[in-house]
Amino acid sequence: MLPEIAIFGLSLALLFAVMQFILPIMGFKTQSNNYFVLTEWAATLQFVVLLVCFSCLAISFINNDFTVNYIAKQSALTLPWYYKIAACWAGHEGSLLLWICIVAFWTCMLVFFAKRMPLAFKATVLGILALMNFGFYVFLFVSSQPFSRNFVQVGLDGSDLNPILQDPGLLFHPPVLYMGYVGFAITFAIAAAGLIHNKIDQQWAIWIKPWVLLSWCSLTLGIVFGSWWAYHVLGWGGWWFWDPVENASLLPWLLATALLHILQVTKNQQQLRFICVLVAILTYIMSLLGTFLVRSGVLISVHTFATDSSRGIFLLAYLLIIATISILLLAYRYPKLCQKNSLLMISRPGLILCNSILLLVMAATVLLGTLYPLILEVLGIAKISVGMPYFNMVFIPLSIPLIFLMGLAYYSSWQGTSIKELLKSIALPLVIVCCLTTGVIIISPKTDSVIIYLGVGLGIWVIISSFVYLFKHSNIKLRLPITLAHLGVGITAIGISITSHYSQTLDTIIDVGEQVKLGNKTVEFVTLESMKSDNYRILQGTFKYNKKHYIYPQRRKYDVSQQITGQMGIKSGIFADVYIVLGEQVDQGWAIRMYYKPLIRWIWFGGILMFLGGMLSLVNLIYNKLRLETKL
Amino acid sequence: MKRFKKIFTIRYILPLSLLLLVGYLLLVSLSNDPSKLPSALKNKPLPTLTLKEIFSDRPESIAQTIQGQVTIINIWSTWCPSCKTEYPLIKKLAKEPHINLTSIVYKDSRSRALTWLSKNGNPYQHVWLDEDGSAGIELGIYGTPELFIVDKQGIVRYRYAGAIRTTTIENNILPLVGQLLNEQ
């Protein structure tokens, strides 16, 4: 019964979406505000109905309704309940439903919280969003319906959720990442509405900013979750693999980061309006491109959704339509938006612009690296995959000036600073940075890689500069978010530099009772025991690191799929992680892989600081708005 | 006026043609199947594999068994959902004339594989069991299902990763098998 209710609900939601598109048009024709108010209602109802549909899917999962194909594929009787809920978005169909739900959720938020936006403008935004969501409804109904049923197979126990996905990471990573990805649909709609109404100005920058911030925060957190998940579940000891799907999330992140900074400039001066709206639109298009790359199966990646070329064609058509409309709008308004910019290079807007351009270049290089194998293949030259070496080679040289300028921007002012003044104000911080970096060089093991120290030095430079910025002026509340986010960048930079250079790996074969050396510490294989959990059997090894810390890597064999997965044993610490993978049994014992990963937690800690910075900035926005309203 | 016209066209035409190019690229790559992996084994002899034949439970050399025939080897397992999906097509493939269809059960137990075969039907001439996945490493497979075509000289001529589709059978497998049958 529930799946039928859900299908009815989806049709109803589609109807509301159509209304949400038509009502604003009628409103503009008749010049009546009533239609705009009705549009808001349609948007709210759409979300409510979708919420019911999604709950139907979740409840069907919990009730083990295996007549639903999607549930039979993604779940099993013995699957714990929280994974059953998470399994809602573990496959293509369900995650598409989640996508639609999140668009509706953000739309609903926009209805309630964008109070300062004029009714007509808001209705345009809602209309655009409805049109965009409409495309996804068609996609859902035509090729990816999550509620399709098959009554013949009754009696099956379900083929179980892919064991690799059975991890707390699945509970958080996809929804949070989607909140970000999809959130850019709102920014896109506001940008497009701005172009339609010819209203790309300071006010527009104020309207769009909270939505960019929200999506950016979610995306940041989503990427951090994803990186941490990959680290602790895949057993390669890495935190970023330059996999096409990771790149797909990095692209909008880089663009959104640039957008946030350009907006800051646009909000204070009327400059850069064109590039601002361009980046706002590109961000969403990159989200769509990422979705296309992941779902269509044109690239091989660790995130394999069941692929189907008809889905690819649909998504491609959607992407091209959105992009064409955007280009036409942008080109039409270009002469009005483009102004002669007289931006002083050594001023805060100048430096921010500089860094934004660097971020855009980074995004372009990631895009090129991701699409390069496709280009070669289409031209029939070769079948290759672009990996780590390319990305490291282009990313490091771009990050160095980026991080340096990031620190420098703190010492400049909005109106412009003379070089002499700038040098005077950075002299002392630079000396401190040099001293600290020298300290790091002395205490760390010898190496001739200069780039590592450069990375650490730049990290320290950003951290010191952030503190100088925070305490030099009185208004700490306003400066705290910015400081936090940039502190995060500094900490991440240090983490990446150290962990990529000082990590150690050891592949060995040892038996119970034996010892090996990892670096200068001993690792002892203490015991091996088997256990049983709800839906899998466990073989667990106990290892003793440095004579005091116990580490428990596992091998799990899942009952339904009979698939074997490894569960890493990780002893995490502020300064280093020790990471053990229990491999296969061989003649002389067990194949074991160990990693020593210094400062790896700093990478994610930095990411979380960036997220917190963004959230605090949002809180500031809301607080200021409330204060303004009470004053009025 | 002339200048205005020039700018007008450029600012529309340039981004649109760029988009068209990217769109074309993506469209073409959609039809390029990434599962057609170039195999390290392609045009090389099949590695010497000695696996247990599942019904007799006795080890035998695959290369010897299939000698002199054009053979399709399908790698599958009972725990793999895509294998379940492609099974009807595999059965259809087995019914085609001159098809010598064999298979290797990858990382699975004998009893489960036997149950599967008795329940779903057995389209294969031979079924071998690769319990620990070592033959899978020899063959360099990515996952299950995967399909190899070996010619009369025991040389690997084709490899396909992922569940086969009707189009794969019609456009790739059957023509190639026909061609290989005519080779001396």
* Residue B73: domain span: 34-182
In this structure, the answer to whether residues A448 and A566 fall within a common structural domain is no
Task: Compare A610 and A627 and report the one with higher pLDDT.
Answer: A610
Instruction: Specify the amino acid at residue A524.
Output: E
| Cα separation, B8 vs A534, whole angstroms | 66
How deeply is A623 buried, as exposed, middle or buried, from its count of CB atoms within 10 A (0-12, 13-18, 19+)? exposed
In this structure, the answer to whether residues B25 and B58 fall within a common structural domain is no
| Cα separation, B128 vs A389, whole angstroms | 40
In this structure, the answer to whether residues B99 and B116 fall within a common structural domain is yes
| Cα separation, B6 vs A398, whole angstroms | 35
- Average pLDDT of the residues in A206-227: 94
| Cα separation, A401 vs A409, whole angstroms | 12
Which CATH number do you get for residue B77? 3.40.30.10
In this structure, the answer to whether residues A52 and A153 fall within a common structural domain is yes
Instruction: Please identify which residue in the block is written with the tokens 């250079």.
Output: A501
In this structure, the answer to whether residues B14 and B86 fall within a common structural domain is no
Residue after which a domain boundary falls, among A161, A193, A218 = A161
Residue after which a domain boundary falls, among A145, A161, A177 = A161
In this structure, the answer to whether residues B154 and B105 fall within a common structural domain is yes
Residue A91 pLDDT grade (very low, low, confident, very high; cuts 50, 70, 90): confident
Helix/strand/coil (H, E, C) string of chain B?
A: CHHHHHHHHHHHHHHHHHHHHHHHHHHHHHHCCCCCCCCCCCCCECCCCEEEECCCCCEEEHHHHCCCCCEEEEEECCCCHHHHHHHHHHHHHHHCCCCEEEEEEECCCHHHHHHHHHHHCCCCCEEEEECCCHHHHHHCCCCCCEEEEECCCCEEEEEEECCCCHHHHHHHHHHHHHHHHHCC
Give percent above pLDDT 70 in chain A. 93
In this structure, the answer to whether residues B73 and B128 fall within a common structural domain is yes
In this structure, the answer to whether residues B21 and B44 fall within a common structural domain is no
Which of A308-322, A502-516, A557-571 bottoms out in mean pLDDT, i.e. has the lowest?
A557-571
In this structure, the answer to whether residues B82 and B17 fall within a common structural domain is no
Residue A588 has pLDDT above 90, yes or no: no
Q: Is residue A11 part of a domain?
A: yes
Q: Is residue A273 part of a domain?
A: yes
Name the 3-class secondary structure at A363: helix
In this structure, the answer to whether residues B25 and B39 fall within a common structural domain is no
Answer whether the bond into residue A80 is a cis peptide, omega within 30°: no
- Residues of chain B with C-beta less than 8 angstroms from the C-beta of A378: 25, 28-29, 32
Q: Of B23, B25, B30, which has the smallest distance from its Cβ to A296's Cβ?
A: B30
Residue B33 pLDDT grade (very low, low, confident, very high; cuts 50, 70, 90): low
Subunit contact B26:A328, Cβ cutoff 8 A: no
Subunit contact A563:B79, Cβ cutoff 8 A: yes
pLDDT value at residue B38: 53
pLDDT value at residue B2: 60
Residue A322 has pLDDT above 90, yes or no: yes
Residues of B with CB under 8 A from a CB of A: 7, 11-12, 15-16, 19, 23, 25-32, 34, 38, 78-79, 81-82, 84, 108-109, 112
pTM of the predicted protein model: 0.81
- Residues of chain A with C-beta less than 8 angstroms from the C-beta of B168: none
Subunit contact A297:B34, Cβ cutoff 8 A: yes
In this structure, the answer to whether residues B28 and B71 fall within a common structural domain is no
Q: Is residue A181 part of a domain?
A: yes
In this structure, the answer to whether residues A554 and A592 fall within a common structural domain is yes
Cβ–Cβ under 8 Å, residues A540 and A552: yes
Give percent above pLDDT 90 in chain A. 43
Cα radius of gyration (chain A):
26
* DSSP H helices in A244-308: 244-268, 273-296
* Residue A116: domain span: 1-161
In this structure, the answer to whether residues A280 and A427 fall within a common structural domain is no
Q: Which residues of A287-297 are buried (b: 16+ CB within 10 A; e: fewer)?
A: bbbbbbbbbbb
In this structure, the answer to whether residues A511 and A476 fall within a common structural domain is no
pLDDT value at residue A534: 79
**Dihedral sign (CA A63, A68, A73, A74):** negative
| Cα separation, A502 vs A516, whole angstroms | 19
pLDDT value at residue B5: 62
Residues of A with CB under 8 A from a CB of B: 73, 159, 292, 296-300, 306, 309, 312-313, 316, 319-320, 323-324, 327-328, 330-331, 334-335, 371, 374-375, 377-378, 383, 561-563
Please write the tens of the pLDDT for every residue from A286-311. 999 988 887 776 766 555 554 566 78
Residue A164 has pLDDT above 80, yes or no: no
Structure tokens at B142: 């990515």
Q: Is residue A615 part of a domain?
A: no
Total number of domains in chain B: 2
In this structure, the answer to whether residues B170 and B93 fall within a common structural domain is yes
Instruction: Name the pairing type of β-strands B100-106 and B126-130.
Output: parallel
> Which own/partner contact pairs does A117-121 have at CB distance under 8 Å and 24+ positions apart?
A117/A207, A119/A33, A119/A36, A119/A37, A120/A27, A120/A28, A120/A33, A120/A36, A120/A197, A121/A193, A121/A197, A121/A199
User: Which of A280-289, A517-526, A616-625 tops mean pLDDT?
Assistant: A280-289
pLDDT value at residue B6: 60
In this structure, the answer to whether residues B25 and B60 fall within a common structural domain is no
Which of A119-133, A271-285, A289-303 bottoms out in mean pLDDT, i.e. has the lowest?
A289-303
Total number of domains in chain A: 4
Task: Compare B170 and A489 and report the one with higher pLDDT.
Answer: A489
In this structure, the answer to whether residues B144 and B81 fall within a common structural domain is yes
Q: Is residue A46 part of a domain?
A: yes
Instruction: Please identify which residue in the block is written with the tokens 């998470």.
Output: A86
The mean pLDDT value of chain A amounts to 87
pLDDT value at residue B7: 58
